């Protein structure tokens, strides 16, 4: 069957999704990405929104096998960003009309951390009278904690499910009782119950991951009623158990990386076709595998960019994977560079707007 047959279908089923995700021919990919870009224009507009991404601490109690700042990586010097610096960056984002800020860190669940984040949220909220939208991305917490942070001003939360397949999830995490798929899923449910706009996502091109798994990931976004999606290729970090395994098996070749990037862009396109009015991020990991990775994602239906506003002196210590780009850039450079990228694909930037996903509000109607 020809690809246009699938692209004209009113509703895609799992087999259709698998078919589309598996396309590799340049002409077919071109058709797929064009169709997804049309849906983007129609359902969310060809306006891309910025979320200043502030990675404020790399302390983490978890030991995910893929991640460069996992607890077990003793080569990383741990840091906390002083509160005044976080607030200064938030103010900078506000002045630059970024519309919103994303606070990301390793996972901590101790009371001092919970209090600290709560305080921080209230202070950021006071900037410009609550003008700045705030997304949190600080891992698994109790429902009470999520509620406290919501009450303090966070209104979006990003927690990737990493894979919707619990068996695959198991292979990526230590079996120490602290890395449970069911817990992560329950966190997503709790966040939605509280009223957050919930974001999730997966890593793409993981060892052992099939096209069926990826199709299930997209179906998972739908069944969880997800408003925002942040997904990207798995990228090797040299000092992690998974990174070592993948490199030793010869699975980090240029061909393999290109495959993971293609699969990631296909995921963006098919997610746009299937879910239509959600926010989808063009993630930094895509650019790690190709200098134009993020432009490719915007062209295939993504509409969110996350310019780094992490303090330059800490960027080196927040490397979840190898070859993370923009380590040398200051926040000014990230701003200008991304604006040029947006213009190059024919989109505009939604300056000063929160850019909430229409899905969240369509859903409340």
Binding site for ligand SF4 (CB under 6 A): 60, 62, 64, 67, 69-70, 106-107, 139
Q: Please identify, among the stretches 28-36, 90-98, 99-107, 271-279, the one whose residues bind ligand SAH according to the rule CB under 6 A.
A: 99-107
User: Which of 23, 108, 156, 160 contacts ligand SAH by CB under 6 A?
Assistant: 160
Spatial CB neighbours of 32, under 8 Å, sequence gap ≥ 6: 3, 7, 20, 23, 266, 269, 270, 300
* Cβ closest to ligand SF4, residue 62 vs residue 359: 62
Burial track 250-269 (b if 16+ CB lie within 10 A, e otherwise): ebbeeebbebbbbbbbbbbb
Q: Is 107 exposed, middle or buried (0-12, 13-18, 19+ CB in 10 A)?
A: middle
Min dist CB 243 to ligand SAH, Å, is 7
- Distance set, CA 259 to CA 152, 172, 235, 248, 266 (Å): 42, 20, 12, 18, 10
The answer to whether 168 contacts ligand SAH (rule: CB under 6 A) is no
Interaction of residue 318 with ligand SAH, rule CB under 6 A: no
Q: Which of 122, 162, 137 is nearest to 60 (CA)?
A: 137
Residue 236, token pair as written in the block: 């090797």
Q: Which is nearer to ligand SF4, 71 or 276 (CB)?
A: 71
* Interface with ligand SAH (CB under 6 A), residue from 320, 326, 334, 338: 320
Residue 88: in which H helix or E strand, if any? helix 83-95
Measured distance CA(161)–CA(159) in Å, rounded: 6
How many whole angstroms separate alpha carbon 191 and alpha carbon 158? 10
Distance CA 153, CA 108 (A): 19
- Residue 80 neighbours by CB under 8 Å, 6+ apart: 56, 57, 59
Picked from ligand SAH, ligand SF4, none, the partner binding residue 159 (CB below 5 to 8 A depending on kind) is ligand SAH
Q: Which does 227 bind (CB under 5 to 8 A by kind): ligand SAH, ligand SF4, none?
A: none
**Which residue from 35, 43, 235, 275 is in contact with ligand SAH, where contact means CB under 6 A?**
235
User: Residue 133 or 139: which CB sits closer to ligand SAH?
Assistant: 139
The reply on whether position 234 binds ligand SAH by CB under 6 A is yes
The residues in 186-215 that bind ligand SAH, with binding defined as CB under 6 A, are 203
137 binds ligand SAH (CB under 6 A): yes
Q: Of ligand SF4, ligand SAH, none, which one sits near residue 137, judging by CB under 5 to 8 A according to partner kind? A: ligand SAH
70 binds, among ligand SAH, ligand SF4, none (CB under 5 to 8 A by kind): ligand SF4
Q: Which residue has the tokens 């598996």?
A: 22
- Closest CB to ligand SF4 among 141 and 357? 141
Out of 159, 190, 300, 306, the only residue in the binding site for ligand SAH (CB under 6 A) is: 159
Cβ at position 219, least distance to ligand SAH in Å? 19
State the Cα–Cα distance between residues 311 and 174, nearest whole angstrom: 31
56 binds ligand SAH (CB under 6 A): no
Residue among 7 and 65 whose Cβ is closer to ligand SF4: 65
Per-residue tokens: 142: 């109790």
Instruction: Give whichever of 232 and 307 is closer to ligand SAH, judged by the CB atom.
Output: 232
The residue from 67, 89, 154, 229 that contacts ligand SAH (CB under 6 A) is 67
| Minimum distance of ligand SAH from residue 282's CB (angstroms) | 14
Specify the residue, 3 or 161, whose C-beta has the smaller distance to ligand SAH. 161
Q: Is 262 helix (H, G, I), strand (E, B) or coil?
A: helix
CB 59 within 8 A of CB 312: no
Q: Min. distance of Cβ 122 from ligand SAH in angstroms? A: 21
């Amino acid at each position: 069957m020809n690809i246009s047959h699938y692209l004209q279908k009113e509703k895609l089923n799992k087999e259709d999704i698998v078919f589309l995700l598996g396309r590799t021919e340049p002409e077919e990919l071109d058709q797929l990405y064009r169709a997804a870009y049309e849906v983007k224009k129609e359902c969310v507009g060809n306006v891309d929104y910025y979320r200043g991404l502030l990675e404020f601490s790399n302390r983490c109690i978890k030991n995910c096998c893929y991640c460069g700042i996992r607890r077990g990586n003793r080569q990383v010097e741990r840091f906390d960003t002083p509160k005044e610096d976080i607030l200064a960056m938030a103010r900078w984002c506000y002045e630059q009309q970024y519309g919103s800020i994303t606070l990301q860190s390793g996972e901590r669940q101790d009371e001092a951390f919970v209090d600290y984040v709560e305080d921080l949220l209230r202070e950021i909220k006071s900037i410009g009278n609550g003008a700045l939208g705030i997304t949190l991305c600080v891992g698994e917490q109790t429902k009470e904690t999520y509620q406290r942070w919501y009450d303090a001003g966070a209104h979006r939360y990003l927690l990737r499910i990493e894979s919707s397949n619990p068996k695959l999830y198991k292979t990526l995490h230590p079996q120490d009782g602290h890395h449970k798929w069911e817990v992560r899923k329950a966190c997503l449910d709790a966040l939605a119950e509280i009223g957050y706009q919930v974001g999730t996502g997966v890593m793409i091109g993981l060892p052992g991951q099939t096209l069926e798994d990826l199709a299930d990931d997209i179906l998972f976004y739908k069944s969880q009623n997800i408003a925002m999606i942040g997904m990207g290729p798995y990228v090797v970090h040299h000092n992690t158990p998974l990174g070592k395994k993948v490199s030793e098996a010869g699975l980090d070749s240029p061909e393999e990386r290109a495959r993971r990037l293609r699969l990631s862009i296909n995921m963006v396109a098919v997610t746009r076709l299937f879910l239509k009015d959600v926010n989808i991020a063009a993630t930094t990991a895509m650019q790690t595998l190709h200098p134009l990775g993020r432009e490719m994602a915007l062209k295939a239906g993504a509409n969110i960019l996350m310019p780094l506003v992490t303090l330059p002196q800490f960027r080196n210590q927040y490397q979840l994977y190898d070859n993370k780009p923009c380590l040398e850039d200051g926040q000014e450079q990230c701003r200008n560079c991304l604006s040029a990228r947006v213009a190059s694909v024919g989109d505009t930037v939604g300056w000063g707007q929160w850019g909430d996903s229409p899905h969240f509000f369509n859903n409340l109607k």
